[in-house]
Amino acid sequence: MVYKKIERNSPCWCGSGKKYKFCHSDFDQKLFRFELQGYEIPGHELIKTPKDVEGIRKSAVINVAVLDEIGEKICAGMNTQEIDDIVAETTRKMGGIPADLNYQGFPKSVCTSINNEVCHGIPSKDIILREGDIINVDCSTILDGYFSDSSRMYCIGEVTPEKKRLVDVTKECVEVGLKAVKPWTPIGDMGNAVHEHAVKNGYSVVREIGGHGCGKAFHEEPWVGYLPEPGTGMLMVPGMVFTIEPMVNMGKPDIFTDDKNGWTVYTEDGLPSAQWEIEVLVTEDGAEVLSW
């Protein structure tokens, strides 16, 4: 049970400076009622204060600017190390830090995953983008201790209709998920909506890797999967921040990790995969996109 008794006249746990009874008392009572009904509820540490949200928004300004810069420059003939260089230079020029760099030993500032690479592709001077490739660029930023995280797909030149459809439907999956973010409902409702849209279009969704809470740390609770039953998972409540980032495969959902570099994840059947990622804040009436 995460609900704890706080004296009504004590300062609120959120740091607002208000008395608890005038701030989060009713919020906590509502959480407690849901917990008694059997729902998994977030702890106070997962609820972002207005100050936190403002910090994440400022971090996201850099995150979005980096992805915009890549969109202007990415092209056939470019190597993926050049993408990493753009991320590092733009992020630091704007006062941020690339969150990926050295995270659990990851050696670069960004993940670049091409065609049948599902995620965690490592930039290299030896990897050249070619006409017809699709690539996911997954960018994460730290600014003043606050984290933002989003990714985009880029089509290199003319791609096949099959690849273009995969990219477009994957983006639709994120949009469907965003519409399903409703306060005081289980996160499994959102994940199930994403999964259903992918399957309806003939695709599969990676099971083992999903979204995550984000903001005061790179990866926080909850883990966000896309194969859950409706009505399951942590309750989405105002102040929570997490990513929606389904990895959608053209073929089967099975994946494997490169045993040489220990990072890059591939589709087992060699068919393409796509991913878009957004960072969202749960609000009183839905969700606000912080980074895309």
DSSP string, the chain: -------TTSBPTTSSSSBGGGTTHHHHHHHHHHHHTT-B---GGGSPPHHHHHHHHHHHHHHHHHHHHHHHH--TT-BHHHHHHHHHHHHHHTT-EESSTTGGG--SSSEEEETTEEE-PPP-TT-B--TT-EEEEEEEEEETTEEEEEEEEEE-SS--HHHHHHHHHHHHHHHHHHHT--TTEEHHHHHHHHHHHHHHTT-EE-SS--EEE-SSSSSEEEEE-SSPPTT-SBEE-TT-EEEE--EEESS-S-EEE-TTTS--EEETT---EEE-BEEEEE-SSSEEEEE-
Q: Residue 5 pLDDT more than 80? A: no
The residue whose two tokens read 């099971």 is 207
Cα angle: 243, vertex 267, 116; to 5 degrees: 85
Query: Is pLDDT above 90 for 223?
Result: yes
What is the per-residue pLDDT across 239-256, written as a single tens digit (0 to 9) for each? 999 999 999 999 999 999
Please report the pLDDT score of residue 15 as a whole number.
87
> What percent of the chain has a predicted confidence (pLDDT) above 70?
99
Beta bridge mates, 277? 151
| Confidence band of 115 (pLDDT split at 50, 70, 90) | very high
Beta carbons of 196 and 226 less than 8 angstroms apart: no
Q: What tokens appear for 276 in the block?
A: 């878009």
**265 and 219 Cβ atoms separated by less than 8 Å:** no
Burial of 202 (0-12, 13-18, 19+ CB in 10 A): exposed
Q: Cα angle at 204 between 286 and 140, to 5 degrees? A: 55
Per-residue model confidence (pLDDT) at position 4: 60
pLDDT at 3 over 80: no
Q: Where are the domains of the chain?
A: 47-291
120-175 confidence digits (pLDDT tens) = 999 999 999 999 999 999 999 999 999 999 999 999 999 999 999 999 999 999 99
* pLDDT at 1 exceeding the cut of 90: no
- pLDDT on residue 276: 98
With 0-12 CB in 10 A as exposed, 13-18 as middle and 19+ as buried, what is 151?
buried
CATH code at 47-291: 3.90.230.10
